Amino acid sequence: MDKKKIGLLIAEQRRGLGLTQRELAQLLHVSDKAVSKWETGKGVPDVSLLPVLSRTLGLDLAALLAGKAEAQDPLGGNMKKLKYYVCPHCGNLITAAGTAQIACCGQTLEPLTPVKADADHDLTVEQVEDEWFLTACHPMTKAHYITFAALASADRLTLVKQYPEWDLQIRLPRRGHGILLWHCSRHGLFYRLL
């Protein structure tokens, strides 16, 4: 842990938010001298302050401790390159258009890697007027089911959440070319080009 790097990052983020040392100190219920000490690298925040400090500064806790925040691409990514994260504990679904550190239920999540569907996980896709109609013979039990289906094009994402014991019948708007993705609760993320 490099005190100087952490201090420089705290100062940079504080200024970026338009806060004085005193204002940041008031938000954290510490003295402005403590904030000054951190920013000059003569000390570091107490461990108990780190979560609230990272939230206040809008920094990931790991970035705060490393003393550097990674700059993101300001334009974001193509929606076809969207990353999908699913929490193995609660089933929470999170997407990110760029590089992100995602956590849920106290666990850091890795982005799912889509694989081409095998015969057991393939969806039936039919064109019905101006929509894609999706069905599957996949089990839809509480322990094994399709959790979501999504259609991503360059600039749009249409995502439909599925629940156990529902029949899988989904209609998605048909707009140009895209990538169809769906997630099996046991076997991961699958894709098909449309």
Tens of pLDDT, residues 130-176: 999 999 988 899 999 999 999 998 888 999 999 998 889 999 998 87
CATH assignment of the domain containing 130: 2.60.40.730
Tens of pLDDT, residues 3-30: 898 999 999 988 988 889 999 999 999 9
Tell me the CB-side half-sphere exposure of residue 193, using CA atoms within 13 A: 3
The reply to whether 189 and 116 lie within a common domain is yes
Q: Distance between CA atoms of 102 and 62, rounded to whole angstroms?
A: 11
What's CA 27's distance to the chain center, in Å? 27
Q: What is the pTM (predicted TM-score) of this model?
A: 0.64
Q: Does residue 84 carry a pLDDT above 90?
A: yes
Q: Tell me, what amino acid is at 32?
A: D
Q: Does residue 69 carry a pLDDT above 90?
A: no
Q: Of 31, 46, 66, which residue constitutes the final position of a domain?
A: 66
CATH assignment of the domain containing 10: 1.10.260.40
Residues 6+ apart with CB under 8 A from 23: none
pLDDT of residue 130: 92
Residue 83 belongs to some domain of the structure: no
The reply to whether 61 and 129 lie within a common domain is no
Mean pLDDT, to the nearest integer, of 102-112?
Answer: 91
The reply to whether 62 and 117 lie within a common domain is no
Mean pLDDT, to the nearest integer, of 112-120?
Answer: 90
Mean pLDDT, to the nearest integer, of 90-111?
Answer: 89
How many structural domains does the chain have? 2
Residue-number span of the structural domain to which 178 is assigned: 112-193
